[in-house]
Structure 1
């Protein structure tokens, strides 16, 4: 497959995978931990581990047969201890058999004007953030493929329905860059 035909297929597969991960994580409700997923091409995974086919639904197997870029997400359990998300991601690396990765994290966001008024002191800033009347709790799913596209999904607690999930290739640029760095 040429580079020009690979990109749309890879982006479509990545978008499907992010939506699937977002839906899966949403089923667990809010106030969850950071979660990390390896993304592997389903055809290649089944070629190297044929026994996994018994664990997949027939619709997934059919999609994998017809779509070379169909992705399977594999949640990583027992993540290494880290004081923050940046440190966790900086400590991750993936073997070449992993085509991409995704991370889910919940954050509190404020409108830009409210952020400008946030105190500099860490404890005061946290108090300000948690008690601000315009705060929004959001769940982010950010994914990228090795040397390929990225895709993001954002769900707010205030609009907690699947049809209210914002999506796009670079909605959280800093986190996209951190995800990409794990694939280098």
Structure 2
């Protein structure tokens, strides 16, 4: 695991197990806390605006982290500390700095490994997406394809945040630049299957 920064802002998880924006249901406590963490991470990244780099976060059990490093309590809100000490599923996200310089997100995920103290991981990435019909018409030449993609009138800029726990639970959220509002962020356990599986594979 790369060197970590300070924990990202973390609010106390709500008791409801339903995604506030989409109605998608988190069926168990571990998934509910993961969903909360992924939403918070995306909201934290969204505060810096668009056109950002790939961001990677380790997810750690807050209770375990407090036991291992009591000084962490001073960096967290008192209500978060109280909630974590009474809930084994409570998570704290820690952004990873000094990521390796690689050609693609797939390559990065292929070389990431985590110590046993890390309960899960989350990745935030921006993508440009097109309707299926427009994708079918994309040129084969990479340079022409990029120009086609960036100039297409139906392109959508999206920010995707995907999290997975070592125990298998997953959650994703998606924000579009065209509807850049917290209330319009979609969420669910399998919105981005390929990226979800790639993150889960970092724990194998």
TM-score if structure 2 supplies the norm length?
0.85
Task: Please state whether the residue corresponding to 1:159 is helix, strand or coil.
Answer: coil
2:147 to 124, 127, 147: 127
Over residues 5-59 of structure 1, what are the superposed CA-to-partner deviations in whole Å (9 max), with x where a residue is unaligned?
xx71100110010011011000010011100000001000101111110110112
Q: Which whole-Å CA distance do the structure 2 matches of 1:161 and 1:89 have between them?
A: 29
Alignment partner of 1:21 is 2:54: no
Alignment of 1:52-91 (within 5 A): 52-91=72-111
1:120-160 CA distance string (max 9 Å, x none): 11111111100000000000000100022100000000000
Q: Measure how far apart 1:183 and its partner are.
A: 1.2
**Contiguous gaps of at least 5 residues in structure 2:** 1-26
5+ residue gaps in structure 1? 1-6
Q: Find the residue that maps to 1:141 and give its secondary structure.
A: strand
Q: Partners of 2:154 and 2:60 in 1: how far apart?
A: 39
Q: Give the Å deviation of 1:66.
A: 2.7
1:96 is matched with which residue?
Answer: 116
- For residues 42 and 48 of structure 2, the distance between their equivalents in structure 1, rounded to whole angstroms, comes to 10
8 Å Cα contact 1:43-1:64 kept in structure 2: yes
Q: TM-score, normalised by structure 1?
A: 0.95
SS class of match (1:120): coil
RMSD: 0.9
Secondary structure, aligned partner of 1:69: coil
Q: Which residue of 2 aligns with 1:118?
A: 138
The runs of at least 4 consecutive aligned structure 1 residues that moved more than 4 Å come to: none
Q: Which residue of 1 aligns with 2:53?
A: 33
Are residues 1:108 and 2:128 paired? yes
Q: Is the contact between residue 140 and residue 155 of structure 1 (CA under 8 Å) also seen in structure 2?
A: yes
Q: Once structures 1 and 2 are overlaid, which stretch shifts more, 134-143 or 53-62?
A: 53-62
Preserved contact between residue 168 and residue 200 of structure 2 (Cα < 8 Å): no
State the distance in 2 between where 1:43 and 1:154 align: 28
Task: Report the Cα distance in structure 2 between the residues aligned to 1:110 and 1:72, rounded to whole angstroms.
Answer: 34
Whether contact under 8 Å (1:10, 1:148) holds in the other structure is no
In structure 1, how many angstroms separate the alpha carbons of the residues matched to 2:85 and 2:36?
Answer: 16
